[in-house]
Structure 1
Amino acid sequence: MPGKPINDQQARLYMDYRRTLSQEAAAAKAGFSLSTGQRLDQDPRLPSQKKAGHRRGRTKPDPLGGVWETDVLPLLGRCAGIRPITVLEELARRHPDQDWDRRRRTLERRIEAWKALHGPDQEVMFRQLHPPGQQALSDFTEVTELAVTIAGQPLDHRLYHFTLAFSGWEHAEVVLGGESFVALTHGLQNALWALGGVPAEHRTDSLSAAFRNLDKNAREDLTARYEALCAHYGMTPTRNNTGVAHENGSVESRHGHLKSRLDQALTLRGGRDFATLDAYCRFVAEVVGRHNARQRKLFDLESPSLKRLPARRTTDFEEATVYVTSSGGFTLRKVFYTVPSRLIGHRLKLHIHDDRLDCFLGGTAVLTLPRGRAPQGGKGKHGHVIDYHHVIHSLRRKPQALLNLVYRDELFPRAAYRRAREAMSAALDPRLACRIMVGLLWLAHERACEADLAASLDATLEAGQLPDLAALQRRFQPHQTDAPAITVTLPLATAYDTLLATTANAGASR
């Protein structure tokens, strides 16, 4: 092997083979290189007979000779953390007449050896013991690499990830928004109630994402809310130091394992597209459930050490009050939401969750809306969460309002309706196109045929034709059915007298 001295036995074997074989063949049979055989031919002494401590000198010139002492070492001593490629580029700048690319590996090995002997001290990781029931950890993790789509559209999301440090029991759920306190509260409580118990301590990553862009007062309020959440469950809240991810290592290291399991499960599934968001959420829960089944023995050891859950959950949402304007909706955090027009002029109380808004009129729940987010990177731009069922009654009376409607593209419930509008706008008078499009939306609303009508529109557009509103209205009109003719024959009143007499005689005979 290169760099390993030969022994006396190898030397003797070489000398024996050398009597009949060439240098190259004898060296190969003895188990060393040709150059070693050449040295033995020049000096036939056994390795044990040579002077103790004698080292063979360099046979080739040092590739870094002339620059290691004068150029490289001063750079390493003066610039802590400098990379070998940076040193190589500096050498090429100072000595442009030499070919430094061929010396890169030599330089990297030499610098690595120098750092091991003379470099700065490195941070030491101290492995910790995790008693059963002592610590749980929470964090969010990006899953862009999974490339999940919902009905063909990319899903911009991340996962909330909870784990027990001792047993490795896990909980994960899809988060559509950012790393908010609401998402943490919702995910943590779901995890604890699925777990069926409470650990003594809960560790997070300083809520750094939730603190982003908040002023001092808002951060203090968020800290107080987090401590109140942990107090409700009897957990001690702890945090790792900001920017020191390894202090949350028990969950950080498991992020990779979780994403790997999801990726492999998606590969076995044969596709990364899901019909609905709920279907994808169930898929994540199934993958995590299979992992927890494998951790059952460790969890059974840890379960007795968990504390009991409280009698109820605590608040896992934010609250806001909004006013429903004459536009048929309200604006919350740069997102406009439509609501039924009968709520115009009323104030609604909102429970803001990560994925939805629960709307209350007084103490009465009136509807639930999907949570929207404002567009990223667009200053002043607003998002829209539009349900055409809420506005179609008014739009039917004023169809030309569709032409320049602010949220026109978000009004259409499916891509087929959007394609139909674009095709008609290009081929017809704009006013006529608006009337037909509003008529199609009204038909979908009135006849509850949104999906079937979308399929019909797709087929029509694929055939190169424009939608025929009258024909579609006839196709989706209610089926007329005639009521069957039923003849009811009423018995004569005297028949009841006969029946009563017969019954009385039968009773007397008994």
Structure 2
Amino acid sequence: MPGRHVTDHQMRLFMKLRQDHPIEVAAAKAGMSRATGYRISKDPKLPSQKAQTRGRRRPDPLEHIFDAEVVPLLQSAPGLRPVAIFEEMLRRHPELSPGIRRTLERRIRAWRAVHGEDQEVIFRQVHEPGRLGLSDFTDLGAMAVTIAGQPLEHLLYHFRLPWSGFEHAHVILGGESFVALAEGLQNALWSVGGAPASHRSDSLSAAFRNLDADARTDLTTRYDALCAHYRMTPTRNNKGVAHENGSIESAHGHLKSAIRDALLMRGSADFGDLDSYRAFIDEIVGRRNAARGKRIAAERPYLQGLPERRSTDFEEVIVTVSSTGGFTLRKVFYTVPSRLIGHRLRVRLFDDRLDVFTGGTRLLTLPRGRAKANGKHDQVVNYHHVIHSLRRKPMALLHLVYRDKLFPRQEYRHAFEALIDRLPERQACKITVELLALAHERSCERALAAELAKVLEAGGLPDLAVLRRHFAPDPACLPAVTVQSVSLDSYEALVITADAAGVPA
């Protein structure tokens, strides 16, 4: 065919066909032209026997600089990128064409193949059922997930059994920590119904950050105790060597791709609450595990049995409630009922919540807060805890440190801003506090917020009297309770009847 070289196979076929066919027919059957057939008939050498090494068609643009300048750079700085060398050569030799970049990169690659340094070799491992479990954290910030319109900063704890491919994922609101690892790992083990012989983590590199030597030792001890509780041998990959956890690092990408696809098919990355988002993640992981159901079932008999109860997956801290109606823990101020002022409380610190105890009695659960990225303190405030005291001191609202966190919904904050713009400060604070008190006493926080939004949208200001009547109990809906007095004679008649029947008193 025109434009294509004749191969040895074609020529052998042509010469065989030539014995029984004319040149034209033999050439056509061998896939070549008639002219080529006549030429081959005169010169029966195979193409491979006539091939000659082709010389350069143009001068080598790197002839005078590669050995003299590029090679010394490669020898002195083995990690230097080819693009950096290319830019340096252009700076030294402005007459060079930018079109030499690919030529230079190929030449550098060929030089390194012969003279370069040895590279690290990755040794693939044979996985045995029930031998190893892997844990790691991965960032989901690129998913742009929001909860009720607010961005959710979170990580994903990821556990995997490499032999069967069983996976478990748990949404983590804070950073990498022992609490997050302990909670996610135990959820995974109880989900699969057993524990592997050993467990490998990523050394909790983020959890160790900014800890002193004693704190690091304590964290390591707690991790070892957690593994001992499930009879697992604790192992850690070297810091910064991701491929040592390769069986889960690669799975991160597949899981995140599945989550991204599910969000696109869902049409929105916004969820009504955190529980809905966690259920969404659980459903995705559940579908992936269902596809590996037979292999997971085959690995379960090789897993160790679980202990009778879970180990601790929280930190326990003792705090004292101050006169401000709360306590500060990890740079976050939490409000509690004022009756606890002066009491020492035992707080169990989970990844997403705090359980507060006095003695052995569990008092309440608080959402966990975290200090701001710049290191400043934050607050977790429940207006129900302080509203009774704030009603006696409404002006305290004006410059309250946690004023913005006091408002349970944005409508209350907008109402305060509208009031403070159009009324005296004392009156604005008084009305705002009474609005919060109304929401507290009548349990109408959501409905009251909706009414405030309507009033503000119409350009008006909240009218306390109108709102109190609106959210007051409807007299028509109150049941009519009539208590009738019972005559004591009926009891005497009952006693006489019992005596007549012979019933002992």
TM-score computed with the length of structure 1 as normaliser: 0.86
CA 1:224–1:483: 2 relative to 1, 3 Å: closer
- Judged with a 3 Å threshold, the aligned counterparts in structure 2 of structure 1 residues 483 and 177 are, in CA distance, closer, same or farther, namely closer
**1:255 maps to 2:237:** no
Q: Is contact 1:6–1:47 with CA below 8 Å preserved after alignment?
A: no
Question: 1:136, 1:346 → 2: CA distance?
Answer: 43
Q: Which amino acid aligns with 2:459?
A: G
Q: Which moved more, 1:214-223 or 1:479-488?
A: 479-488
Give, in angstroms, the shift of residue 357 of structure 1. Answer: 0.8
Q: Which residue of 2 aligns with 1:61?
A: 59
> In 2 relative to 1, CA 246–487 (structure 1 residues): closer, same or farther, beyond 3 Å?
closer
| Counterpart check, 1:222 vs 2:228 | no
Structure 1 residue 92 corresponds to structure 2 residue 90: yes
Q: Write the distance in 2 (CA, Å) between the matches of 1:303 and 1:446.
A: 54
SS of 1:397's equivalent?
coil
In the alignment, which of 449, 458, 461 is matched to residue 454 of structure 1? 449
Count of residue correspondences: 470
The amino acid that maps onto 1:94 is R
In structure 2, the residue matched to 1:79 is 77
Q: Distance in 2 between matches of 1:304 and 1:171?
A: 19
Between 1:340-349 and 1:72-81, the stretch displaced more is 72-81
| Contact 2:137–2:155 (Cα < 8 Å) also in 1 | yes
Q: In structure 1, what is the equivalent of residue 385 of structure 2?
A: 390
Question: Following TM superposition, by how much is the alpha carbon of 1:433 offset from its aligned partner in structure 2, in angstroms?
Answer: 1.0
Counterpart residue identity of residue 383, structure 2: Y
| CA deviation profile, 1:210-232 (whole Å, cap 9, x unmatched) | 21111222211211111111111
**In terms of mean alpha carbon deviation, does 122-131 or 56-65 score higher?**
56-65
Moved more, 415-424 or 363-372: 415-424
Matched, 1:463 2:465: no
Query: Which stretches in structure 2 are left out of the alignment for 5+ residues?
Result: 15-30
- Larger mean CA deviation between 298-307 and 469-478 belongs to 469-478
CA distance in 1, matches of 2:485, 2:184: 67
SS in 1 for 2:362: strand
Equivalent residue letter for 1:95: H
Give the Cα separation in 2 of the matches to 1:311 and 1:267.
42
Distance in 2 (alpha carbons) for counterparts of 1:116 and 1:427: 77
Tell which deviates more after alignment, 182-191 or 467-476.
Answer: 467-476
Q: Aligned pair 1:473/2:473, yes or no? A: no
The residue number in structure 2 matching 1:434 is 429
CA 1:293 to 1:218, structure 2 compared with 1: closer, same or farther past 3 Å? same
- Give the % identical residues: 60
CA apart distance, 1:176: 0.6
Q: Which runs of 5+ in 1 are unaligned?
A: 14-28, 32-36, 505-510
Corresponding residue of 1:146: 143
For residues 312 and 163 of structure 2, what CA distance do their matches in structure 1 show? Answer: 28
C-alpha separation between the residues in 1 aligned to 2:421 and 2:439? 23
Amino acid at match of 2:7: N
**Does structure 1 retain, via aligned residues, the 8 Å contact 2:159–2:167?**
yes
- List aligned pairs for 1:8-407, cutoff 5 A: 48=46, 54-99=52-97, 101-378=98-375, 381-407=376-402
User: 2:348 is matched by which residue type in structure 1?
Assistant: H
Conserved in 2, the CA contact under 8 Å of 1:182 and 1:318? yes
Query: Structure 1 residues 160, 483: closer, same or farther in 2, change over 3 A?
Result: closer
Q: More displaced, 59-68 or 236-245?
A: 59-68
Cα RMSD over matched residues?
Answer: 2.9
Counterparts of 2:380 and 2:44 in 1: how far apart (Å)? 87
Structure 1 partner of 2:17: none
- Structure 1: distance between partners of 2:148 and 2:215: 38
Cα offset, 1:30, TM superposition:
6.9
Asked if the contact 2:177/2:206 (under 8 Å) is kept, the reply is: yes
Q: Secondary structure at the match of 2:257?
A: helix
CA distance in structure 2 between the aligned counterparts of 1:490 and 1:322, rounded to whole angstroms: 56
* Residues 411-456 of structure 1: CA deviation (Å, up to 9, x unaligned): 0001111111122222222211111111111111111110011111
Per the alignment, residue 18 of structure 1 pairs with none
The CA distance in 1 between the partners of 2:117 and 2:44, in whole Å, is: 43
Question: Which residue matches 1:25?
Answer: none
Aligned residues of 2:411 and 2:449 also touching (Cα < 8 A): yes
Q: 2:410 & 2:336 partners in 1: Cα distance?
A: 22
- For residue 50 of structure 1, report the CA deviation from its aligned partner: 8.4
Runs of 4+ in 1 over 6 A off after TM superposition: 44-47, 485-493
Does 2:15 align with 1:7? no
Question: Aligned with 1:54: secondary structure?
Answer: coil
Partner of 1:22: none
Q: TM-score, normalised by structure 2?
A: 0.87
The secondary structure found in structure 1 opposite 2:391 is helix
Question: Residues 490, 182 of structure 1: CA spacing in aligned structure 2 closer, same or farther, 3 A cutoff?
Answer: closer
Taking the aligned partners of 1:45 and 1:76, their CA distance within structure 2 comes to 49
Partner of 2:420: 425
Distance 2:153 2:388 in 1: 33
Q: Give the C-alpha shift of residue 66 in structure 1.
A: 2.3
Partner letter of residue 192 of structure 2? L
Please report how far the alpha carbon of residue 74 of structure 1 lies from its aligned counterpart in structure 2 after TM superposition: 2.1
Per-residue deviation, residues 41-100 of structure 1 (Å, max 9, x unmatched) = 9xx97873787563121112223232222222222222201111111111011112333x
Q: Is the 8 A contact 1:7 1:47 kept in 2?
A: no
Instruction: State which drifts further: 313-322 or 57-66.
Output: 57-66
Alpha-carbon distance between aligned partners in 2 of 1:65 and 1:45, rounded to the nearest angstrom: 39
The alpha-carbon deviation at position 265 of structure 1 amounts to: 1.0
